[in-house]
Amino acid sequence: MDLSPLQQERYQYKPKLPALLKNRPTEIKAVLGQPTSAYADADELKKLFKNNFGAPIALFEPGNNPDAAAVRNVGVILSGGQAPGGHNVIAGLFDGIKAANADSKLFGFLGGPSGIVDDQAVEITGEMMDAYRNTGGFDMIGSGRTKLETVEQFDKCIEVCQRRSISAIVIIGGDDSNTNAAVLAEYFAEKQTGISVIGCPKTIDGDLKNEYIETSFGFDTATKTYAELIGNIERDADSAKKYWHFIKLMGRSASHIALECALQTQPNFCIISEEVEKEQKTLMQIAKEIADIVITRACDGKTFGVGLIPEGLIEFIPEMKTLIAELNDLMAQNESEFSALPDFASQTKWLKQHFSKESAAAFDSLPEGIAKQLLLDRDPHGNVQVSLIETEKLLSEMVKKAIKARGEKVKFSALHHFFGYEGRCAFPSNFDADYCYSLGYNASLLIANNLSGYLSSVRNLAAPADEWIAGGIPLTMMMNMEQRHGALKPVIRKALVDLDAAPFQAFAANRERWARETCYTYPGAIQYYGPASVCDLTTKTLACEAKKN
């Protein structure tokens, strides 16, 4: 296979580990703390997770653990969308179980969770693993979005694990994938299978986050990739001086990506969905605020600019949030009836008969193209696919109308961009290469300590890797009950942008100046070689949080 020079060099990179994890696995033990609860709905979750709810937080310390040396067969699953560093999680897991006992085996289930149900797997050998170290993508074993949620699926998982003598499963995924992991761990415990389930926190969206999961893997690489592109566009805008660039950034719900990219590049505006929701801003209010920035800059002789828009914005705008919630419920309860409607006109008529008065008015106010996008195929959870809604075009059109309504003769030419797939499979940054490898190695130690229903946790991430703290947190600790497909389901709660936290406050303190002045910064490409001050940089988000603490 032909390799680029960078590929060849990255294969040789040796990821850094927390100091403790450099000890032999038999010399590392898990110390368990006090019982935990959940974010919310503890009583309901306790009934659903009788075996695993309330498990204590685990912290690794030096100590004797002879059980670590046992021969183990472990299965690994990549679940959900791609994120940079997934291969290094597998590498850390592989090296961890082999360090404990060279006869242990790692099986990669192919194509995501469906691989374990269909018993499609490959044994990962040293030669195979070495071909994927420090590389982007999930192509080593593939990923998928199959949900593990039925008794039939769970029983099939048990059957496959027993046939292959697998005693542990590691699921690498986001909030929904790790919800699957929690449910599977509970079922295995109920059936007394002895099979443990460990999760690893993956999502470039950054919304799998708490005190013990300071960031999800892939966020660092993805935001640095997007920030490079934004910086390039800013340089172009400042050179041409004639376009306003409306840039939509991936992030299904939370605005962490948009906020991080704003801190890295200092655009003229960045909308934070969580702030929009808190202040109950309408679409028109948002458009008018952007129009004010456009007009002010034009008066200063600057008929150009750059703005960032989170992918999930539309769900945080009050009238749109209500509309989408009603639409999701209607689709879940009347899917076959709605699917039989022949065209957009008949769909619109049917919806208006079932919508509340407010939602009918909101739907009517949308351009037809945007309204049609709301009715496209649902995501795997039965919800509107917000990534298909061209919010950036909707906003620029509304800004244009707002400027015209004020009678201002301002030159306003908009260009549109959506950065999503560009960042999901990038070569992982040194930070993500190190963090992901540590998460995988750490997962092997959770297994070696006979724990199940835990999420691999590596924290103190703003410090050098030697000082990172390794352990695990119970998956149920991160859960609450949410409406899915018209019914309440246990899920890991998405962590949204905290408006009181240091990263948002740093942004809020500077955005007025960034709006009027041209303060663009240009992060450039991710650097893999050179001084640590350049190559091992954490995100601005982690740096702000560490400084605050």
Tokens of residue 67, six digits: 């059980």
d(CA 206, CA 216): 6
The closest of 264, 304, 208 to 419, measured between CA atoms, is 264
Structure tokens at 475: 């998956």
Contact 217, 136 (CB under 8 A): no
CB atoms within 10 A of CB 410: 16
Q: The tokens of 158 are what?
A: 């048990």
Our CA dihedral for 486, 490, 491, 494, rounded to 10 degrees, sits at 80
Rounded CA-CA distance 22/330 in Å is 54
Phi, psi of 16 (to 5 degrees): -85, 150
Q: At what angle do helices 344-354 and 357-365 cross, to 10 degrees?
A: 150
Q: How many helices (H) and strands (E) does the chain have?
A: 22, 16
- Clarify whether 41 is annotated catalytic: no
CB atoms near residue 99 (< 10 Å): 19
Angle between helices 86-100 and 430-448 (to 10 degrees): 40
CA 309 to CA 249: how far, in whole Å? 6
Task: For residue 239, give the H/E element and its range.
Answer: helix 219-240
Tokens of 29: 């033990």
List the structure tokens of 26.
Answer: 């038999």
Q: On the CB side of 361, how many CA atoms lie within 13 Å of its CA? A: 5
Q: Cα separation of 492 and 179, whole Å?
A: 6
Give the Cα-Cα-Cα angle 518, 521, 510 (nearest 5 degrees): 60
CA distances from 152 to 117, 126, 157, 160, 465 (A): 9, 34, 9, 12, 42
In whole angstroms, what is the distance from residue 320 CA to residue 324 CA?
A: 6
| Cross-strand partners of 249 | 310, 419
- Token output for 534: 């350049």
How many angstroms separate the CA atoms of 490 and 92, rounded? 30
Helices (H), 355-474: 357-365, 368-374, 391-405, 421-424, 430-448
In the set 205, 207, 220, 434, the catalytic residue is: 205
Which of 472, 473, 474, 476 is CA-nearest to residue 446? Answer: 472
What residues are labeled active site? 205
